[in-house]
């Protein structure tokens, strides 16, 4: 299989594989590499979610939330599912 560095899907697939293997540092590195190669500058987003009556807030790229691993695992699963649906 030929891999083209400009193909963003390759980076997303690798990021998903890292998340699935709980290799969080590699996941962050892959996303940073993807963004640096494309020259994309993202503005950090903030999200709120309520679970069991407790509101949780997290910022995009934040690794300090006590449930960071679980959050990124779910988000990466959603990202992969999004490509399957398309």
E strand or H helix that includes residue 24:
helix 24-38
Tell me how far apart the alpha carbons of residues 7 and 3 are, in angstroms, rounded to a whole number: 8
Q: For residue range 8-58, what is the model confidence (pLDDT) as tens digits? A: 667 777 878 888 888 888 888 887 877 777 665 555 677 888 889 988 887
Confirm if 79 and 16 have CB atoms less than 8 A apart: yes
pLDDT of the residue at 19: 85
- Which tokens in the block code for residue 83? 């490509």
């Amino acid at each position: 299989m030929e891999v083209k560095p400009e193909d963003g899907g390759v980076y997303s697939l690798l990021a998903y594989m890292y998340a699935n293997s709980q290799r969080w540092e590699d996941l962050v590195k892959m996303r940073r590499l993807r963004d640096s190669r494309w020259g994309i500058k993202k503005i950090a987003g903030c999200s709120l979610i309520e679970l069991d009556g407790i509101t949780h807030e997290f910022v995009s790229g934040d690794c300090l939330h006590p449930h960071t691993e679980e959050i990124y695992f779910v988000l990466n699963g959603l990202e992969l599912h999004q490509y399957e649906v398309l």
